[in-house]
Structure 1
């Protein structure tokens, strides 16, 4: 009997266990495989992303894309309807349940419930499932290709196949500031932020992305009255997500056209080609040429941009926003067709603009941010250059490229999840990287076979798999549940085929 171990019990690890159990039940594999899930917290299904109790920490994706089952994307919307739907105070948005934006903790409750149901069903079919609440520290591979997982309490678990689902990795940046009590190295879990800051203090936030927005929401939801300043190199806030996007039709940036271009021209898609095709699609819908250079938001005053974005979102979004949204199911395939150099070019040239457009603020929270800016309680500063602690004033000093200096009483690192393996503050990832069981990809995350999710490395062997943010460079949209459950379905099929292939041949 083979032993499959999943390390990490957040949304990705839970989805993987669910899918593996579903397939194992259907294939009647009770005499072939057993499962162990290792999760350091006491709760399964939540993780960092969906364990936050703050009421304004909302999903930035509508409910009808959040089903935990790979081929049932609307399952969460159905569950939501059965559990109070729009009448709940933790559900936002003006449309029906399928277009609602719920609190993250509510989604965590959903995932936890579905995991529990699936485990009970598996046990009724004779499939062994063990849950261990501990932290995996390292993995060693023996001569028989088995994997020895060492836990924090020194226990060792032997596995035949291991899936790494470590969830949202904390960045290890600004290590020199960790010795100061007023520095918060990660905004999750939220109680750390609240314990280290006082309501009247001036709080500095490094970052302006969705993690930084959630940090602001944590503060104001808990009565913060002092000044809040967000710092980032570009000073760009995410755009605003409509409750329901208007439909647009693409004729140029399609998989069919890109495949034809590869066939006829003999080269893979380039960043410039993709942008040109995107422009053609947007301008075809608009019926006019647009001033694309004028849309550059770098270091521009974000308040009028946010006001305009809210107005646009209230009417269903503009063509650029909706075109990016329409690409959600094909973007990862397009990304996989590009070579590494073009991926790097796209990331450095267009990456941030794509991110703020594709991963937007829910309208409900955008209005709260705009209100704080209007009241003068929140400001955004671009081009931060140097961050240090002033021993004399006992404050943090943030200097910009223009020579301006800002002082804050406490400082939060909300720059978002670490991208590169070496930047992830995770002891297991650090050890696997040191042992060369994981190979770093140039754009972030680990090198994998994107078809099977198997980690490809010098010494790791062929029995370690990765999912979620751990593979953020080779794949796109790894912060989207709907995308992760699709990759998990392929991964589960691959693992179970390996286990049963002798019988299939």
Structure 2
């Protein structure tokens, strides 16, 4: 795909070239009926990687079977079709491949392939620039974008798809740890570079932790692996079995407590019929956003305070093979799970000394060679360390989303400013909408948002 550098206003500027931004670009290119200039601004090329799909390592698997990972609402099996077309897994038949959890790097390749196909048949022109956007201001043409290089660009319409930000390590002293002693879980090469005999502490016990552990296993790691988190809950596996067939609609009319009770009852009744609880959760998978939006504000707060971690491990599941690796390491004693709140992290010679408090406020200490930050996605807009978001919030062009999560957007994805005015020329995608939608990170949500954004921008 050629990289074109031209001047003059563009019709659509897409800020962010991860999965959401690329899907939006494909939607605009496919829907264009006349020549348009479409610009993707992404500092970290190649496109379509973002955080989720940036890993080049085969041990990092998708958390959804291939048959459900299509990038378009009307073609849920499109990713599967791509894998078959390019013969990514020779000898594996369609039905088998549809149920497999394939390496995540395959999905980035798929998105770039579909983007190139869209470019080849579209009257619109796509340009890609390896630039970071620092500011966005209204202009007579539409918007003025200021790049990190100091250059300014004009755009008539904009997509905000800046992707996910990692939470900082929640410990005093973490910022002073030497390079290499503190490792980010999303820095896959750095994780692979950890010495095989080193003791490590992974802070956080969610999906990023699972990625880190399978990387360590792939490199033949022999040292102890400590996993520290407030709840000490490991991700749970997907399961096969009959589909649950209860009616989930009544849940929308219940409060939080009633919903949790009802789901537990459905799980008990399903188990009596040989249906795994995972399939009870699958039944409400398409309703994630509606379930969030029909909760009262106070119930949403209760969910975030008391329920969210339990929801995460049941909702965001991992491949059974990955879960089996975690269980085996734990049974062998190499992986040790600690429940506690991290307080401090300081270098002590060749080691990192961590102090934490358990649920009874009793202190304990871990001495390791490396501490790995796997605390997950930052949801608070002000804490995302993103210059563009800080500028938008500071100028009043945007406001934080509900509960301070992400930035506020209307039902159709349009940006809402500090005065509550809707700006339909700016479409918001992905994790930035988490406060309004909650479920806004996975491909089933992103593909719908991207399609809606493309329709709005072309309209």
RMSD of aligned Cα (Å): 2.5
Mapped to 2, the partners of 1:187 and 1:43 lie a distance apart of: 20
Select 1:466's aligned residue among 428, 436, 439.
Answer: 428
SS of corresponding position for 1:249: coil
Mapped to 2, the partners of 1:398 and 1:76 lie a distance apart of: 45
Question: Does residue 456 of structure 1 match 2:416?
Answer: yes
- Per the alignment, residue 108 of structure 2 pairs with 108
1:42, distance to aligned residue in structure 2 (A) = 2.4
Structure 1 residue runs without a partner (length 5+): 262-268, 289-316, 498-505
Quick one: structure 1 residues 8 and 2, their matched pair in 2 at CA, closer, same or farther if it must change by over 3 Å? closer
CA contact (8 A) 2:69 2:77 kept: yes
Deviations 1:223-252 (A, max 9, x none): 32211111100000011112x45301113x
Select 1:475's aligned residue among 418, 421, 437.
Answer: 437
Report the number of matched residues. Answer: 443
Deviations 1:132-179 (A, max 9, x none): 11111221223x372111112111111121111112212244484233
Question: Does residue 7 of structure 1 match 2:15?
Answer: yes
SS of corresponding position for 1:199: coil
Question: Does residue 353 of structure 1 match 2:310?
Answer: yes
Structure 2 residue runs without a partner (length 5+): 1-8
1:50, distance to aligned residue in structure 2 (A) = 0.8
CA contact (8 A) 2:235 2:316 kept: yes
CA contact (8 A) 1:454 1:464 kept: yes
Question: Does residue 275 of structure 1 match 2:269?
Answer: no
CA contact (8 A) 1:38 1:133 kept: yes
SS of corresponding position for 1:493: helix
Quick one: structure 1 residues 365 and 282, their matched pair in 2 at CA, closer, same or farther if it must change by over 3 Å? closer
Quick one: structure 1 residues 70 and 159, their matched pair in 2 at CA, closer, same or farther if it must change by over 3 Å? same
Quick one: structure 1 residues 392 and 94, their matched pair in 2 at CA, closer, same or farther if it must change by over 3 Å? farther
Question: Does residue 200 of structure 1 match 2:197?
Answer: yes
Deviations 1:331-380 (A, max 9, x none): 21222222322212223232211110111121111111122222221111
Mapped to 1, the partners of 2:276 and 2:430 lie a distance apart of: 29
Select 1:425's aligned residue among 381, 385, 397.
Answer: 385
Mapped to 2, the partners of 1:420 and 1:487 lie a distance apart of: 20
CA contact (8 A) 1:372 1:378 kept: yes
1:397, distance to aligned residue in structure 2 (A) = 1.5
Quick one: structure 1 residues 247 and 86, their matched pair in 2 at CA, closer, same or farther if it must change by over 3 Å? farther
SS of corresponding position for 2:201: strand
Equivalence map 1:10-409=2 (5 Å): 10-24=18-32, 28-30=33-35, 33-84=36-87, 86-87=89-90, 96-122=96-122, 125=123, 127-142=124-139, 144=140, 146-174=142-170, 176-180=173-177, 181-184=179-182, 186-195=184-193, 197-242=194-239, 244-251=240-247, 253-254=248-249, 257=250, 261=253, 269-286=254-271, 319-391=276-348, 394-401=351-358, 402-409=362-369
CA contact (8 A) 2:73 2:447 kept: yes
CA contact (8 A) 1:172 1:425 kept: no
1:426, distance to aligned residue in structure 2 (A) = 2.4
The TM-score with structure 2 as length reference comes to 0.89
Deviations 1:255-310 (A, max 9, x none): xx356x5xxxxxxx42123223323433443459xxxxxxxxxxxxxxxxxxxxxx
1:482, distance to aligned residue in structure 2 (A) = 1.6
Quick one: structure 1 residues 176 and 433, their matched pair in 2 at CA, closer, same or farther if it must change by over 3 Å? farther
The TM-score with structure 1 as length reference comes to 0.82
